[in-house]
Amino acid sequence: MKKKIFNIIKYSLFFSIGILLFWLVYREQDFSNIWNTVLYEVNYLWLILMAFLGLLSHISRTLRWKIALEPLNEKPRTINAFIAVMASYFMNILLPRMGEFIRCGLLSKYEKIPFSKLLGTVISERIVDMIMLVLFVLLAFVIEFDRIMGFLNENEQITANLKNILKSPLLWLLLVAIIAGITLYIYIVKKRGKRNKFEEIYKNLIHGIKSIVEIKRYKAYIAHTFFIWTLYFLMLYVAFFSLEFTSVLPLSAALLTFVMTSASMLAPVQAGMGAWHFMAEKGLSLYGIESVNGKIFALVTHSSMNLAIVIFGVICIILIPFINRNYKPQNIKHD
């Protein structure tokens, strides 16, 4: 009961932060003007193309996940893995940071694969994706160094907050305490000679994380990784053409805006709500786009992205029980 209350408070707090950020960005906007732009000035064909590119990226992510599961001798059906991926994106809109747990939980349920193994592969996947984000950041720095430094100089509070988080003794103390606590617990259990469920989960988790170094089709894994992130970038770039005032911007503007909005997704709010809009507006402002137009672009693009995820996600969640009605996963022995 206490855990449920804690979760309700936690997610309500995250949602409130998202609403607050969104309100801070749009509190002074004329929504009648925004509404007229949405109705009469948006070329929705480009947004449909954006949604299609997003769908391709989700398919590629599914195939990459299957490659990561091969060293674990797990071969889930592609349709189940895809539905799990789509469900994760959908759940992240509702409950931040819960999508990956839902993703692993769904595939575990229908493919009878240990949840902790799946979670381990997802953790490795997130590390790889973080590396890709860093590469895009470095590329943006090389191409648009002056603009980026100008943005950081004009928004010193953002840089200061990041430095404070990284320098926080509490953060590092907490990480050390968690690792030490898990290690000590496993040591005590082993010394007593008892087989413990937690130890099994821990082994599966580590096994899943380590699977990335055991991938045989590593070239395909790397190719999917670059393909996924290229599609992410192209999604934002084609969205530029949906509005007249962003259609004239150079490719470098899309790159810098992409990096800034991608970084905003680290914020603990539903689908980057508020934070994504703020970073998109700030990124576009570096290219002379007026604040009101930058906010319109952010609202139209972010809403379209998430609407596509909601549509695909709901369809997948509805279909998965019917798809697996008579399905029995392969009998693979789990360690």
pLDDT in tens, 172-205: 676 677 667 656 655 665 565 555 555 555 565 6
User: Nearest CA to 148 among 293, 290, 286?
Assistant: 286
247 three-class SS: helix
pLDDT at 228: 96
Residue 209 lies in a domain: yes
Domain boundaries, position 65: 2-155+204-323
pLDDT at 135: 93
pLDDT at 14: 47
Residue 178 lies in a domain: no
Residue 163 lies in a domain: no
Residue 175 lies in a domain: no
Residue 165 lies in a domain: no
pLDDT band at 18 (very low <50, low <70, confident <90, very high): very low
User: Over the stretch 106-147, which tens digit does the pLDDT of each residue have?
Assistant: 999 898 888 888 888 888 888 889 899 999 999 998 888 887
Mean pLDDT of the chain: 79
User: Nearest CA to 271 among 239, 228, 307?
Assistant: 307
Residue 226 lies in a domain: yes
| Number of domains, the chain | 1
Residue 283 lies in a domain: yes
DSSP letter for 90, please: H
- Residue 301 one-letter amino acid: T
Name the token pair of 311: 């549509």
Length of the chain in terms of residues written: 335
User: Nearest CA to 242 among 34, 42, 37?
Assistant: 42
Instruction: Say how far apart CA 90 and CA 83 lie, in whole Å.
Output: 10
pLDDT band at 49 (very low <50, low <70, confident <90, very high): very high
- Residue 239 one-letter amino acid: A
Residue 169 lies in a domain: no
